[in-house]
Amino acid sequence: MRFETKAVHAGGDSDPGTGAVAPPIHLSTTFERSARDGQPLHGYSYIRDHSPTQTRLEEALAAIDSAESALVFGSGMAAASALFQALPGGHVLLPADGYYALRTLAAEFFPRWGLTSALVALEDLGAVRAAVRPDTVAIWCESPSNPLMKIVDIAGLASIAHDAGGLLIADDTFATPALQRSIELGADVTMHSMTKYLGGHSDVQGGSLAFRSRGELVQRVEHVREIIGGVLSPFNSWLVLRGIRSLAPRMRVHCENARAVAQFLSKHPRVESVHYPGLPSHPGHEIARRQMSDFGGMISFLVRGGREEALGVAAKTRVFTRATSLGGVESLIEHRASSEGPGSNTPQNLLRLSVGLEHFQDLVDDLAQALE
């Protein structure tokens, strides 16, 4: 079946007890056991291990991401942390441009988990080969990356990781499985902050890992989740499952609108540069065309001048809301360096847009008046 069909149906069998077509939310924290042998009657025991609504979401995620299995967590960072805690100790390559909390995780917590790390420009495969060490256990990539929208060659990175005996892990939050399925390109694990496009409505937090194969690594990560406890609640599982049902058509409109906004910005005299992989001038455009079916709804751009000029543009938007996060139906604008705080190496004149599902002309008009 094609992506759109899987997104609508996976994990969606009618409820056997009632015939309900929409999935039920099972809030129970505990499940009855057999009188005969004391074993769980239906495979469920306690909510921190597994629960039925969560299982539906995991089935859906595995199906749409071309994975053999998936695990969901209370946030994207909980998913990432569980995976790193499950790795044998060793060295990890992280993207020089990428989600800032991941760098904090590496700096503050990797040493306790027996891990070391290095930040590498992953879009440069030569630099990656030079940075790989005999003890490299994983390369973590993000494409498009936050906030500079760099594109990495996922198949190329997978072969470098595999030659080194390590894993390629892809944070596909910006791309979503609708546009890029990194497991098909060679990645071993994909991670999604479901807080973003998968939830899709800025009202639920969650994270997921999807695995190329149902092997020992899945069991180790599942054990970390059971013991450390970063599980996703039944209600949040249900909300994300609901979001996935409309992921494909939402992403089509996010991409169309972002294309129009990026084209508008790229011609504006007050804009120094636009980072959007859909623009032919983007250094990763050709790779993005090969490995993505479209270019996504995220854009960043540099305003001529500095911090004050960028903040001044963000101050004037009326349709775009000034807020962090991304992937919801509403458009957001963010002065990223302010959100990342001290220690951020994001350019002070950078604004990041999450282009939503409004009419594209209203978005373009809003930016036009803000840039006046």
Told to check if 171 binds ligand PLP by CB under 6 A, we report yes
Stretch that binds ligand PLP, among 75-83, 216-224, 304-312, 348-356 (CB under 6 A): 75-83
Is residue 10 close enough to count as binding ligand PLP by CB under 6 A?
no
- Which of these is catalytic: 65, 97, 153, 171? 171
Rank residues 192 and 212 by Cβ distance to ligand PLP and give the closer one.
192
Torsions phi, psi for 240 (to 5 deg): -70, -40
CB burial string 274-308: b at 16+ within 10 A, e below: bbbbbbeebebbebbeebbebbbbbbbbbbeeeee
Report how far apart the first and last C-alpha atoms of the chain are (Å, whole number).
48
The site string for ligand PLP over 280-319 (x = CB under 6 A, - otherwise) reads ----------------------------------------
In the residue annotation, 171 being an active-site residue is answered as: yes
Phi and psi at residue 55, in whole multiples of 5°?
-60, -40
User: Which residue is catalytic, options 48, 242, 289, 307?
Assistant: 48
Q: For residues 13 and 295, what is the distance between their CA atoms, to the nearest angstrom?
A: 32
Closer CB to ligand PLP, 75 or 291, in the complex: 75
Residues 6+ apart with CB under 8 A from 121: 95, 96, 97, 127, 150
Kindly state whether residue 146 participates in binding ligand PLP, applying the rule CB under 6 A: yes
Peptide bond into 144 cis (omega under 30): yes
Q: Pick from 54, 81, 182, 193: which binds ligand PLP (CB under 6 A)? A: 193
Nearest approach in angstroms of CB 163 to ligand PLP is: 26
> Could you say whether residue 205 binds ligand PLP (CB under 6 A)?
yes
Tell me 273's DSSP state. Answer: E
Active site residue 44: no
Alpha carbon 131 to chain centroid, angstroms: 25
- Residue 69 lies near ligand PLP (rule: CB under 6 A): no
Instruction: Specify the residue, 72 or 313, whose C-beta has the smaller distance to ligand PLP.
Output: 72
Which one of 207, 243, 284, 296 is in contact with ligand PLP (CB under 6 A)?
207
Question: Between 202 and 317, whose beta carbon lies closer to ligand PLP?
Answer: 202
Closer Cβ to ligand PLP, 95 or 186, answer by number: 95
Told to check if 123 binds ligand PLP by CB under 6 A, we report: no
- Kindly state whether residue 142 participates in binding ligand PLP, applying the rule CB under 6 A: yes
* Residue 99 annotated as catalytic: yes
Nearest to 240 by CA among 58, 9, 77, 80: 58
DSSP string, 293-321: SS--SEEEEEESS-HHHHHHHHHH-SSSE
Is residue 196 a contact residue for ligand PLP (CB under 6 A)? yes
Dist. CA 314–CA 293, nearest whole Å: 30
Put the strands of the sheet holding 189-193 in their side by side order.
69-73, 207-211, 189-193, 167-171, 136-142, 90-95, 115-120
Segment near ligand PLP (CB under 6 A); pick from 27-35, 69-77, 152-160, 217-225: 69-77
Q: Which are the contacts of 326, defined by CB distance < 8 A and separation ≥ 6?
A: 174, 196, 197, 297, 298, 332, 352, 354
Which span (117-125, 167-175, 233-241, 339-347) binds ligand PLP, by CB under 6 A?
A: 167-175
DSSP code per residue over 343-358: T--S-TTEEEEE--SS
Q: What are the residues whose beta carbons fall under 8 Å from the beta carbon of 101, sequence distance 6 or more?
A: 77
We find the least distance from the C-beta atom of residue 205 to ligand PLP, in angstroms, to be 5
Asked if residue 99 binds ligand PLP (CB under 6 A), the reply is yes
Instruction: Take residue 188 and report the two structure tokens written for it.
Output: 């071993």
- Position 77 contacts ligand PLP (CB under 6 A): yes
Catalytic positions, written as ranges: 48, 99, 171, 196
Q: Where on the chain is the footprint of ligand PLP (CB under 6 A)?
A: 75-77, 99, 142, 146, 171, 173-174, 193, 195-196, 205, 207
